[in-house]
Amino acid sequence: MPISRQQAQGLLSVAEMELYDESRSNPLRKLDEAALQKRIERTRRSRERARDLVQKQKLASRAATGSKRGASGLANQRSKDKAGLLDDILKRFEGALKATTKPAAREAGTVATATPATVARRSTSRPKKSTKRVASRAASRQAAGDAGTAAKTAARKTSARDVAAKKRIQATRARKKLLEKKTARDREPKAWQALDANAAPAVAAPGFQSSGAAGKAKRLHAGESRMKPIQGSISTRGKRNQGKRDARNSRG
């Protein structure tokens, strides 16, 4: 039965969960032969411990269950699932180890099948080239390689210089555009400068109050001065009226 990662977290410990994660397909490709051998040994030890625990639980629950196998319903099922999951992880590591050892064994087999007679026949069938000619060709190839390497290095330096110059030009243009936008935004009239229906004139300097804003403030102040003053609170007026009523009732 396939077990999800969430179920595996409920069965395995932290160290065993590391083995579970490393047995997945992507991390498994990154392990070499030595790493796979270590994982196999660790997983085998964990699996043997889980199997021993299952056996001990069976023997301990025989008397309680009355069964020869010592299992009744879902008893000891968690330990069985853990042992089965560890066995599955061990099989994954072993399969990956076999896949890595096959190419090496194949190469060793091809080397071993080559007989001394075959090697001698191959060596005698190929004529030896002149040493001077080989040396001159090697020298010419080395000179050509050095020239090509120098040309590639110069091209890389030139391209890096060009890229850096382009980046500096682009950064300068971006800063210039940003400064122009900021200057235009500062010259625009602010929202508090247009209190009347008509738009306020442009402000010459910060802190200057427009004529429209000054007129609006004066009109608001004049309106507040014409309001009827409130003498006392509502509760005070109620007490006065109640006192007048009491005086009338006492006279009557």
Contacts of 190 (CB under 8 A, 6+ apart): 203
Q: Is 86 exposed, middle or buried (0-12, 13-18, 19+ CB in 10 A)?
A: buried
Assign 207 to helix, strand or coil.
coil
More confident residue, 108 or 21: 21
Rounded to an integer, what distance in angstroms lies between the CA atom of residue 44 and that of residue 41?
5
Task: Give pTM, 2 decimals.
Answer: 0.40
Residue 31 — pLDDT band, cuts 50, 70, 90? confident
Radius of gyration of the chain (CA): 47
> What is the structure's pLDDT at 231?
58
> What is the structure's pLDDT at 122?
59
| Average of per-residue pLDDT values in the chain | 75
Over residues 118-141, mean pLDDT: 61
Q: Which of 225, 177, 228, 186 is nearest to 204 (CA)?
A: 186
Least confident of 65-74, 101-110, 124-133, 235-244: 124-133
> What is the structure's pLDDT at 140?
75
> What is the structure's pLDDT at 192?
58
Domain ranges of the chain: 5-113
> What is the structure's pLDDT at 164?
86
Token readout for 82 is: 């853990």
Q: Which of 38, 29, 43 is nearest to 89 (CA)?
A: 43
Least confident of 49-53, 166-170, 235-239, 241-245: 235-239
Over residues 211-240, mean pLDDT: 71
> What is the structure's pLDDT at 116?
57
Over residues 55-84, mean pLDDT: 74
Residue 220 — pLDDT band, cuts 50, 70, 90? confident
